Amino acid sequence: MIHADEIARKKGQQYMGECANDVSFVDFVDHLTDSILDGKCVNSHFSPSHEHCLPCALNVKYVGKFETLKEDTIFLTQNLSIHLDVKDFERDATKD
């Protein structure tokens, strides 16, 4: 997690807030790249996929993507004979 006090310290400033909501995008990217280059723990959202997703270790038969989630879901449920009662896919998909 990014700590605003750490970013302020790197810039020679004193941290005055309670949360990192006042960190600029540039400061965020600088902190993230510094953390990666320093070998510090980085949130999995910003780490390379191959570090936490091991596709070669799985027997994958289907690969879907978010952009075609509805079509992929329909395809899979039909081909696997799974009944899925979804009245409003777009609305229900945003809940999950």
What is the SS3 assignment for 23?
coil
Q: Is the pTM of this model over 0.75?
A: no
User: Using CA atoms, how far apart are residues 34 and 15, in angstroms rounded to an integer?
Assistant: 19
Please give the full DSSP string across 41-72, using - where no structure is assigned.
---GGGS-GGGT--GGGS-------GGGHHHH
Encoded tokens for 23: 């960190």
pLDDT in tens, 25-83: 898 888 888 888 888 767 777 777 777 777 778 888 888 888 888 888 889 988 998 88
